[in-house]
Copies of this chain bind each other. A is one copy, B any other.
Amino acid sequence: MRYTQTLISTLKEDPAEAEAISHKLMLRAGLIRKLSSGFYSYLPLGLRALQKAENIVRDEMNKAGAVEVLLPSIHPLELWQKTGRFELLGEDMYRLKDRSEKDFVLGPTHEEVITSLVADEIKSYKSLPINLYQIQTKFRDEPRPRFGIIRSREFIMKDAYSFDKDEQGLEKSYKKMYDAYCSIFKRCGLPYLAVEADPGFMGGNVSCEFMVLSESGEDIVAHCPKCGYAASMDKAEVARTANRELSLDFARDKQVEQKLPPLEEVDTPGVSTIEKVSEFLKVSPKNLIKTLIYIADDKPVAALVRGDHDLNETKLKRALGAANIAMADEKAIQKITGGPLGFSGPVGLKGVTIIADYSVENVANAVVGANKKDKHLLNVNINRDFKVDKSVDIRNITASDPCPKCAAPIKLDRAVELGHVFKLGTRYTKALKAEYLDEDGKQKPMIMGCYGIGINRILASAIETNSDKDGITWPKSISPYEVAILPLNIENDECKKAAEDIYETLTKKGFDVILDDRPERAGIKFKDADLIGFPIQLIIGKNFLKERKAEIQVRKTKEKLEIKENEIEIHLKKLLDNL
């Protein structure tokens, strides 16, 4: 490709709209442009990188025995009602009507469509297992599109769906996909983590997220540099014992209990947040117990966590075994606790399930809301002043907690989710009657898995983890081009001809080359090549005309080599093989 034939539009300054490194660099290097919030156009260089990532994904899927299909983007709404996910996804789905007022949605994912297709087409155990995938545009009405293509409203996803006869089959299919994902991210040059995760709205029991650590990530991952454990905040366990060890401020045992001071009510006018209460009463947040009122499947629940901890709603939902949970509104809180929002506490609560995080067991002489306006209680003690129905792990792990696996200090870091593999079981196949006739003559629901990769995020994550002050330092496998030829003085006919000849030769030999044939100054060419980040620059400068020598520069290491004209191919090949 020639610069002058394609559209390469680089920007000198960081665009004000961009926060994430990848977003800035993708705009500056002319890979993408915003059409409107959450919608991006891919310019030629961006699309080329995207297609390379796509091809790696396709190749590994095919190698793993998955077979490609293509499903519509517009789905009848009724199909989503059959699985109950229309309500579940709510505003995240784009809805539309056709000219006859029939309801449709834009597919945010395709479990419903693929399962109903498989239900129609596969009838016998002889046709199982099968794994069908597609690489296709998805649509999600993100409330807050951010970080360029990391969280956008229209994106390209590889989504694969496996159908098996039984759990052992699913286990195999899942493993194949898990391994394929590892190969994909490795080939794309990404330092990924395989993170235990909660399946969320997808359903099923087991899921694993593939993530890349990055400041621009919207998720936080708990990971252990020592043993390699990694889990999402929804999944990273904090054991009961871990809480005990870490909350020794007030050791609680029989002896201590007998000497506990009596319960006391104090005025806390307008003081309703943990921070304010802590400041007002001069008590550490560790000695406060937060009482959060939820409605879980229509029943009131009080969830208790220590003042310095964050409740994790997914853990809470799991611990309650509830289908739906939501925070109670002001009115409901008043009704349930008798007091206003901001002053809830566990003492005296009736008709409410009280569920407490393990850490709450270890707080003695706590401060809690009094379920009265502008009042708190001091010297509150578990068992003496209130009882809990269930003591469990319902809080986010913190950087002070130990690794659940090896007890070494855990690390919390932001990460971008690249892919997610799920064991779905019969969540969809039962709802949509995807059944097969088994060898024993019985109808059985198929056992399903699903496996997604955000192709666009491969690019963004690669840039998040591969850049320097001058621009992108692409992993070779997904760089828009591998080699950029930079003739420094294209106005000079000899220089131009030499560059053209080398370009033609390398192209013919199958090298992935772009020629900067613009009549621009050397400085501009270097700046753009560094910014866009082609792994290798082949510079045709003064020495070429004098001594028939070109210069090769490796973008990432800035390593330079001077080579003879007739050795360009050999050296390029060697360098590329080693990248």
Q: Which residues of A contact B (CB under 8 A)?
A: 1, 4-7, 9, 30, 33, 35-36, 39-44, 47-48, 50, 65, 67-76, 91, 94-96, 98-99, 106, 113, 117, 120-122, 127, 130, 132, 137, 139, 141, 143, 153-154
Contacts and interface: CB of A to CB of B under 8 A. Distances in A.
A377 to B, nearest CB: 41
B68 A44 contact: yes
A42 B67 contact: no
A7 B163 CA distance: 12
A71 B50 CA distance: 13
A41 B70 contact: yes
6 contacts: A33-B120, A35-B75, A35-B117, A39-B72, A43-B69, A91-B99
Contacts of A6: 67
Q: How many copies of the chain does the oligomer comprise?
A: 2
Contacts of A33: 117, 120-121
B95 A41 contact: no
Given A35-B113, A98-B94, A72 B40 contact: yes
A73 B40 CA distance: 10
A10 B36 CA distance: 44
Given A40-B72, A43-B121, A47-B69, 14 more contacts: A5-B130, A6-B67, A7-B127, A7-B132, A35-B71, A35-B76, A36-B76, A39-B72, A39-B75, A47-B70, A50-B70, A73-B139, A94-B98, A95-B96
In the A-B complex, the 10 residue pairs with the smallest Cβ-Cβ separation, listed nearest first, are: A42-B70, A39-B72, A96-B96, A9-B121, A6-B67, A91-B99, A44-B67, A41-B71, A36-B76, A47-B70
A98 B9 contact: no
Nearest to A68: B47
A8 to B, nearest CB: 9
A337 to B, nearest CB: 32
A98 B141 contact: yes
B41 A117 contact: yes
Contacts of A94: 74, 96, 98
A64 B65 CA distance: 36
Contacts of A43: 69, 121
Contacts of A143: 99
B120 A72 contact: no
